[in-house]
Amino acid sequence: MPNDLWEYNPATNEWTFMGGKTDACTQISPTTCEYYWPGVYGTKGVAGTTNLPGGRSGAASWTDSSGNFWLFGGTGYDSAGNIGDLNDLWEFNPTTKAWTWVSGSSTINASGVYGTMGTPSASNMPGARDGSVSWVDSTGNLWLFGGELVIVANGDFNDLWMFNPTTKAWTWVNGSNTLAATANGVYGSVGVAGPNNVPGARYGAVSWIDKGGNLWLFGGTSDVSTGAVYLNDLWEYNPTSEEWAWTNGSSTANASAVYGTLSVASSSTTPGAYTQQTANPSWSDQKGDFWLFDGNVWEFNPTTEQWTWVSESGTAVVYGTKGTASASNWPGGRSGAACWTDNSGNFWLFGSGYRNDLWRYQP
């Protein structure tokens, strides 16, 4: 699990290495090698050019309104080089190029400190996990939902947290304060918010935030006693009313997609439950619509609360000519890729698995 940080400039089409370890991985079998990169934490709350998060996978990330990059948890290496689930929160300042360990533990498998629901505290912190989803709101607060703990237990979370970067305090906002062995949500009625509604515990979901500041959550994987199940439910959380609403998709596991007509929005259209262990790529566009890539391309309008099947899946990767857009180009289905939106409204997709290919999609 590497911990190298890179910056890509779309104007020059160039990558810049911003920091992290560059050592070769350690061979652990004839066909497999492992990166062994412990974290260098320094002093909590103090930036340092030698500070560095340990190598990890399945972390949650944000970019704040000042352009700083935030990283939380995942499965990886702590300060002593032990591998497990993490709950450390880091901030990277791209101007000073320095990391700051902001919150959480420097050791693996730390338990959460929930405090009182709705009350911020400097001692509160989510427990160790990977596969969480994240948002950043218009005031710069960081939001975190769910994830899984697999090293010392096998279960998922459905807790919702908010972190205030100014006060450096976490608030447990919603959901359970225990690890769930099952993953049942309280759905209520479609489109109706309610104080008792809550998404089931999960990891590897997809998240967006709309122009009104509402948090959206789609799908993911839930671990139950019979094994993993996959979800395609879509939820909206209103931070003002502090209520969840189930808005689309199925309340049962492993639901199939309903495609409808290509490029035509419909209340019955919905992506299916995906079977990857990590989230599919997703973006928000300049109109406030949400986009999902699961091998097909989907668009969701939060005003009409309808999905549109935008583009059908290709059978394999079609690269075409580097730097040249084409309707026949296709990146192929993938999960766990890095994705972002630029100032022109284009969507970017990088890697997945053992790929390091970079794609741009013009909606």
For the stretch 146-199, pLDDT in tens is 999 876 667 899 999 999 999 999 999 999 998 765 567 899 999 999 999 999
Q: What dihedral angle (degrees, nearest 10) is formed by the CA atoms of 337, 340, 345, 349?
A: -20
Q: Among 39-48, 85-94, 175-184, 307-316, name the one with the lowest average pLDDT.
A: 175-184
Q: Among 130-139, 211-220, 312-321, name the one with the lowest average pLDDT.
A: 312-321
Per-residue b or e along 241-250, where b marks 16 or more CB atoms closer than 10 Å to that residue's CB: eebbbbbbbb
- The H or E element spanning position 112 is none
pLDDT reported for residue 31? 60
Q: Would you kindly state where each structural domain of the chain is located, as residue ranges?
A: 1-112+130-162, 182-363
pLDDT reported for residue 361? 77
Question: What percent of the chain stands above pLDDT 90?
Answer: 52
Q: DSSP per residue over 203-222, as a string?
A: BS-EEEE-TTS-EEEEEEEE
* Cβ neighbours of residue 66 closer than 8 Å, sequence gap 6 or more: 140
For the stretch 217-244, pLDDT in tens is 999 988 765 567 889 999 999 999 999 9
The pLDDT of residue 250 is above 80? yes
Q: At 247, is the pLDDT very low, low, confident or very high (cuts 50, 70, 90)?
A: very high
Q: Which of the listed ranges 16-25, 108-117, 275-284, 322-331 does the model predict with the highest average pLDDT?
A: 108-117
What pTM was computed for the model?
0.83
Stretch 123-130: mean pLDDT: 95
Closest CA to 52 of 61, 62, 42: 42
